[in-house]
Amino acid sequence: MTRNSSDFRGLAEKPGSRGQYAGVTLHAGLVCINGPEEMRAADEAEMFGIVLDAMGSGDLVNEGFEITLSDDGDFELVRYALPNNAVAGGDL
**AA letter at 80:** Y
Whole-number pLDDT of residue 7: 64
**Domain membership of residue 19 as a residue range:** 5-91
pTM above 0.75, yes or no: no
Cα angle value 67/85/91 (rounded, 5°) = 35
Tell me how many domains the chain contains: 1
Q: What is the CATH number of the domain that holds 82?
A: 3.30.160
Report the chain (92 residues): mean pLDDT per 10 consecutive residues: 66 61 72 87 92 86 88 88 50 37
Q: In whole angstroms, what is the distance from residue 19 CA to residue 9 CA?
A: 5
Cα distances (Å, whole numbers) of residue 36 to 5, 59, 71:
13, 28, 8
Q: In whole angstroms, what is the distance from residue 8 CA to residue 2 CA?
A: 8
